[in-house]
Amino acid sequence: MRVVSFTVPAWFPSYDAAVLPQAQLTEQESAVFLCLATGASNAELAAELQLSVSTVKFHVGNIRTKLGGISRLQACLLAALARQGAQDQRLSGGGGAGGRR
């Protein structure tokens, strides 16, 4: 499993970082999670990732559960924050786990 880590801002609703400091996502869940940032539908995500729609639905459900039962919109927002954090680390020359999630 891969650890997807990012800073959740204090304003983010219904998120308790003390309970879920890091999410343990599989490789496919990580790919789906980061693609959620685009706001694409399940069908669009499936086409982009070359998965079936039912597989994408399954992964989105797992992601939401692993992130504390948050809504799809909240998952999209967290994915956007995670993608931005990864981009910021690459631009600043930071290595390690932040380079690829």
Residue range 28-69, pLDDT digits in tens: 998 999 999 999 999 999 999 999 999 999 999 999 988 888
pTM above 0.85, yes or no: no
The answer on pLDDT for 18 being more than 70 is no
33, 20, 18, 42: which is closest to 86 by C-alpha?
A: 33
From 24-33, 38-47, 81-90, 92-101, the region with the lowest mean pLDDT: 92-101
Q: Give percent of the chain with pLDDT exceeding 70.
A: 63
Q: What is the DSSP letter of 13?
A: T
